[in-house]
Amino acid sequence: VPEATVIVERNTSPLRRLEGLPERSGVLLGEITGPIRVTDGYVQYDVDLLGGQKTGLFLDQRENRPTISPYCDGARVLDCFTNEGGFALHAAQAGASSVLGIDISADAVGRARANATLNGLTGIEFREADVFSALPELVAADERFDVVVLDPPSFTRSRKEVPDAKRGYRTLHNAAMKLIRPGGVLATASCSHHIAEDVFAEIVQAAAQANGRRLRLVARRSQSPDHPVLLAMPETKYLKYLLVQVE
């Protein structure tokens, strides 16, 4: 195993305060002069380790992003909460006819656009917008997509916020069911560990039923292996990912 030449510390979680630990961020070993280039499947990213969200790239979805690729050739794709453009870039790389990525963060949208340029991808657009406002606008405009991705941030950090989180997921999935063409694909994820896997699946199914849609499960997955699950700590299995065909 190659020896690390740079080590970056990103200990800025509010949970550290609960344990009496300081919040710190910086370089522990070596030197960083700018973004670093990483490869994820067939996609490259320039990642800001110090200024990007979390580690600069959500590695827990690393093995889930390519699952949409078989459905993207010639497809129209919508990637919500796109962040650095992960799912959107995979869709474009797989031959999508058009890709729209939406994120509320101007910095994230800027990095996603730069990553699209880095990969020489065309037919891909990134829009700075609140997904909860953008989806109803797309529905009102009678837009339709072959593939829709919902990969929102955590909606709840405590059990008392679970009802609000459920409402958020219901809102997103109701809109998604109106936007997906018959036979299209929905890739949807929840990283809220307070939302159990069966509860999340029930929310998705309820949205489909309310909109007269029928779902066929293609894949049911979790986080990548470098985010290990400890059997003694069920909350470590936090990521739920469903890939479903929408009839």
- Active site amino acids: 191
Instruction: Return the bridge partners of 185, or none.
Output: 147, 245
- Find where tokens 């955590």 sit: 154
Q: Work out whether strand 124-128 and strand 215-221 pair parallel, antiparallel, or are unpaired.
A: unpaired
Pairing of strands 180-190, 43-47: unpaired
What are the E-state strand segments in the chain? 7-11, 24-29, 36-40, 43-47, 76-80, 98-103, 124-128, 145-150, 180-190, 215-221, 240-246
**Cα–Cα distance, 182 to 59 (Å, whole number):** 31
Residue 168, CA distances (Å) to 17, 144, 176 in order? 28, 21, 12
- Long-range CB pairs of 158-164 (<8 Å, 24+ gap) are 158/194, 159/194, 161/194, 162/194, 162/195
Q: Nearest 5 degrees, angle CA 24-CA 193-CA 245?
A: 125
- The angle, 0 to 180 degrees and rounded to 10, between the axes of the packed helices 86-93 and 106-118 is 30
Contact between 169 and 214 under an 8 Å Cβ cutoff? The reply is no
The secondary structure of residue 41, as a DSSP letter, is T
